[in-house]
Amino acid sequence: MEIPILKLKNILLTSIQSDMTDDDALKYQSDVVSTLEKSGSKGLIIDITAMDIVDSFMARVINETARMARLMGTRVVLCGMQPMVALTLVEMGRELIGVDTALNLDKGFDKLLEMIEEGVE
Amino acid sequence: MSSIAEKSIDLKIEDDILIARQIARKEMAEIGFGSADQTRMATAISELTRNVIKYAGQGVCHIITEVSSAEIKVKVEIEDYGPGIADLNKAMEDGYTTGGGLGAGLPGAKRLVNDFSIESRPGLTKINLEMCRPNV
């Protein structure tokens, strides 16, 4: 399954779908970083609204993707985490998502623009 | 008086992880488990069936649902015929991993369900998960 990576002005917008295999997730990760390099985007939005399961593997892939993008000088916002997903991640007892987050795509977009403008490190 | 239903999913390829957790969610929804419990169990299944594919190559996942007038119950048995887990106590510790993961799989899954048991020896690893709620 190919995850579309959309370019909107200087931002890359990706929306991860719920039922990805591990291979899909790793392909998504490498697609994102190579598209970042080619497009020179200043921001990356990882939208997970459609995900109803985030296990430790998927959380690691999301986390690592965000860190890779940060290393390349891109601001990152993760948005759209479903309440049940947040609940499950916390109950599993691990700090799995180490990235700036927003409630939904709308708020995530605003937050990312702010971060880019302010040059927040 | 109670009714019991069982589904079995062969675990051979990565896609079977998705199939197992989707079926669990659907079966649980049907007998009245809420979405938090469905998500907990589906996530636990995702963690454990991945271990089967990754470390043992293949196995099987049984999902048994049980409804009585007093309660609803889901039992999940995941077994594989791989090399087994050498040090179970260590495998249940947070952060311990032999596979380059986060080491959150087994202890994480245990925290998500009401009842968790595991036995492992070379050739057979068996994990039992259970969740039970009043039938309202």
pLDDT band at A98 (very low <50, low <70, confident <90, very high): confident
d(CA A22, CA B77) in angstroms, rounded, equals 22
B111 touches chain A (CB under 8 A): yes
Q: What is the pLDDT of residue A96?
A: 58
Taking every pair of C-alpha atoms in chain A, what is the biggest distance, in angstroms? 39
Of the candidates A25, A82, A71, the residue with the CA atom closest to the CA atom of residue B18 = A25
pTM over 0.90: yes
Q: Which residues contact B61 (CB under 8 A, 6 or more apart)?
A: B8, B9, B11, B16, B20, B45, B49, B52, B76, B77, B78
B contacts of A19 (beta carbons < 8 Å): 18, 22
A82 with A45: CB under 8 angstroms? Answer: no
d(CA B98, CA B121) in angstroms, rounded, equals 17
> Among A22, A23, A55, whose Cβ lies nearest the Cβ of B43?
A55
Of B13 and A19, more confident: B13
B30 touches chain A (CB under 8 A): no
Task: Answer whether residue A94 shows pLDDT above 70.
Answer: no
The neighbour count for residue B130, using CB atoms within 10 Å, is 17
- ipTM for the predicted complex comes to 0.90
Cβ contact B14–A96 (<8 Å): no
The pLDDT tens digits for B75-122 are 999 999 999 988 888 888 877 666 555 556 889 999 999 999 999 999
CA distances from B92 to A5, A14, A55, B104, B120 (A): 38, 35, 17, 9, 12
> Among B14, B36, B104, whose Cβ lies nearest the Cβ of A21?
B14
B82 touches chain A (CB under 8 A): no
What CATH code would you report for B3-134? Answer: 3.30.565.10
The pLDDT tens digits for A78-88 are 999 999 999 99
The pLDDT tens digits for B29-75 are 999 999 999 999 999 999 999 999 999 999 999 999 999 999 999 99
